[in-house]
Amino acid sequence: MTPKNYLYEMIRSELTWVVGDEYVQANEADNLGHSIDYYWVPECWHDRGERPTPPDLVVYPGNTQEVAAILKIANTHNIPVTPWGGGSGSQGGALPIYGGIVLDMKRMNKVIEIDPVTMCVTAEAGINAQHLEWEVEKAGFSTMHLPASISCATLGGFIAHRGTGVLSTKYGKIEDMIMSLEVVTPTGEIINTLPVPRHASGPSLTELFLGSEGTLGVVTKAVMKIHPIPAARKFHAYLFETMHDAMVAGSQLMISRMRPAVIRLYDEASTARVIKRVLNIDRKGAYLVFGFDGPEKIVDLEMEEACKICERTSKEDLGTEAGQSWWKNRYKFFYPPYMFQLPQAFGTLDTVATFANIENVYWAMKNVVKENFPQAAFIGHFSHWYDWGCMLYARFIIEEPPQDPNEAVALYNRIWDMAIRAAIREGGVINEHHGVGLKLGRIMRDLYGPAFNVLESLKKVLDPNNIMNPGKMGFPGKGV
C-alpha cells in the first residue's frame, strides 16, 4: 500500500469501522516497534541506521469476529496480513516484510474460563504468557509452560511456532498442552477444532494450525491443559569430563523412562562461558542439571535414581545447590548483558534429533562453523529431552561482524545455511521450538522433500490470495 492515497484511506476507513479509530494505528512510534522483532537481521539493520520495513497499518482486534472482518477486508484488497503477538520470535516470523497490515493480537488478552474439573484454561490468543500463568496460578494451578520468553510472548505466539517451556521434558511442548483451538481462516471463516486432542475422527486439525506461524489463519482462542502446583520441585547438578559423558547420562535418564521435568546439558564451551558467567560456577567440563517435581516422596526417589545414573559417568557431584541455582537463574541467561547482544552477531541453531544422531548433529554443525568461519565461536546446550532424543540449542557468536549491514547479514545467512544443512545431513530437524519464519523458509523444501507439496497445497486452498504472512515458512511471498 502507498500511504496517503485514496485506496489507503478507504482501507483504513473500513478497518476503523471494524475495530474503532483508536485501534488502527499508522504512526511512526508503533511502526518502529513492529518493524523489528527478536530476529538478529532487523536488529542489525536498525543498529546500522537502516530502516526495516514497517507495516502500513497496525490493527488491534478486540474479538474473533473483528479478526474475521479484518481478514475479509484484506482479502478484498489483497493486502498482506502479518499476525503479531509479543514480537519476541527470533526467526522474523512476525515481520511485515511486504508492509500491509500487522494484526497485533495483544488486545485479545482475556482468560475466559479456568476449568478445575477437566484441568484446562480457555484464553484468548493475545494474552501475554506470564499474565496467563499468573491468572492460572492465582486459581491454584500452573500451565507449566514456563519458557524464557514467558514475559514477552503471547499464547498465540507459542502456538504459532510450537513453543517449548523449561519444563517440557515432563509437561510437553505447547502442542502437547493444547486441547483445541479457535481459528479464523484466511478467508475470514471462524472454525473450532475438536474439543479433545486425542480422537479417531480423521487427521488433527489442531495439529494443522500448531506451528503454522500465521500462514494458514489466525488462532484467536485456545483451550490449554493446566496442572496442579507440585508439592516439591528439586534439582541436582553434575559435572562431566566431556559433553559425551553427560549425554550418556542424560539419554539414560530418558530411555530408562524416568520423568524428569527438566534436563539441561551444557557443552564444555558453554559451561566455561555461560555457566561461569551466570551461575558463577567455574569448572572445566560439561555441566548437567536435572529436576523432578511432584509429591515429595516420589521426587526424592526419582532424584535418588537419577543421581545413580549420573554418578556412573560424571566427574563431580555439584550437588543440589548448583541445581537450585540454575532454576533460580533460569531466565537470567536471557537478560542483557548476559544474553548476547549487538554489536555481536549471534544465532541459535535450534535442531532436534534422535539420541542416535544428536551428537553427530552437534559435531557436524560445530565443525562447519569452525572450518568455514574461524571468527565465530560455537557453543551449545541440550535443553528439551524426549524419550527418543533431544534438542540442541547451539549458538554461534561473532564478536566483531562486518560494519556494512549487507555484508554482516550475508555472513550471518551463510553461517545459518551451512550449519543447518550440515545438521539436516546428520538427521537433524529444524527446529524444535523457534520456528521457521523468514530466516529458514528456504530450507523447508529441502527438509521435507516432496512432502512440502502437501503443505503448499494446504496453503493454497486455505489462503487463495496468499494474504496470510506471505514469504514465511517457505511459502511464496507477495513479490517485491
Q: Would you count residue 17 as binding another protein (CB under 8 A)?
A: no
Q: Which of 151/375 has CB closer to another protein?
A: 151
Which window, 71-79, 129-137, 222-230, 410-418, contacts another protein (CB under 8 A)?
Answer: 129-137
Q: Which of 332/478 has CB closer to another protein?
A: 332
Q: Which of 134/388 has CB closer to another protein?
A: 134
Minimum Å gap between C-beta 39 and another protein is 10
Per-position DSSP letters for 133-196, written without gaps between them: HHHHHHTTEE-----GGGGT-BHHHHHHTT---TTHHHH--HHHHEEEEEEE-TTS-EEE--SS
Q: What is the DSSP letter of 314?
A: E
**Rule CB under 8 A: which of 38-57 touch another protein?**
38, 43, 46, 49
Minimum Å gap between C-beta 27 and another protein is 4
Minimum Å gap between C-beta 298 and another protein is 29
Q: Would you count residue 33 as binding another protein (CB under 8 A)?
A: yes
CA 73 to chain centre: 30
Q: What is the x/- site pattern for another protein, positions 135-154, by CB under 8 A?
A: x-xx----------x-xxx-
**Residue 385 parent element (H or E):** strand 376-385
- For residue 308, how many other CB atoms are within 10 A of its CB? 10
- Which position among 109, 122, 187, 413 is part of the footprint of another protein (CB under 8 A)? 109
* Assigned C-alpha cell, 312: 556412573
- Which position among 2, 5, 27, 201 is part of the footprint of another protein (CB under 8 A)? 27
Q: Which of 27/201 has CB closer to another protein?
A: 27
The closest of 84, 116, 88 to 97, measured between CA atoms, is: 84
Minimum Å gap between C-beta 147 and another protein is 12
130-195-73 Cα angle (round to 5) = 75
Q: Which of 343/464 has CB closer to another protein?
A: 343
Q: Which of 336/479 has CB closer to another protein?
A: 336
β-strands 286-294, 262-266 pairing: antiparallel
β-strands 57-59, 101-104 pairing: parallel
Integer CA distances (angstroms), 419 to 185, 394, 431, in order: 35, 10, 13
Widest CA span in the chain:
73
- Which position among 8, 14, 25, 397 is part of the footprint of another protein (CB under 8 A)? 25
The closest of 247, 324, 226 to 281, measured between CA atoms, is: 324
Minimum Å gap between C-beta 146 and another protein is 14
Which window, 20-28, 250-258, 403-411, 437-445, contacts another protein (CB under 8 A)?
Answer: 20-28
**Rule CB under 8 A: which of 154-183 touch another protein?**
none
Q: Would you count residue 113 as binding another protein (CB under 8 A)?
A: no
Query: Which SS3 state, helix, strand or coil, does residue 437 take?
Result: coil
Q: Which of 233/332 has CB closer to another protein?
A: 332
Q: What is the x/- site pattern for another protein, positions 321-350, by CB under 8 A?
A: ----------xx-xxxxxx-xx--------
Q: What is the x/- site pattern for another protein, positions 71-100, by CB under 8 A?
A: ---------------xxx------------
Minimum Å gap between C-beta 159 and another protein is 18
Q: Which of 327/334 has CB closer to another protein?
A: 334
Number of H helices, E strands in the chain: 18, 18
Total of chain residues touching another protein, rule CB under 8 A: 43
Write down the residue that cell numbers 479457535 correspond to. 182
- Which position among 64, 82, 91, 128 is part of the footprint of another protein (CB under 8 A)? 128
Integer CA distances (angstroms), 88 to 38, 149, 152, 186, 430, in order: 5, 7, 6, 23, 19
What dihedral do alpha carbons 341, 284, 266, 287 form, nearest 10°?
-130
Contact 67, 220 (CB under 8 A): yes
- Which position among 72, 77, 131, 233 is part of the footprint of another protein (CB under 8 A)? 131
Contact 322, 279 (CB under 8 A): yes
Q: Where do contacts with another protein occur on this chain (CB under 8 A)? A: 25, 27-30, 32-34, 36, 38, 43, 46, 49, 60, 86-88, 104, 106-107, 109, 126, 128, 130-131, 134-135, 137-138, 149, 151-153, 331-332, 334-339, 341-342
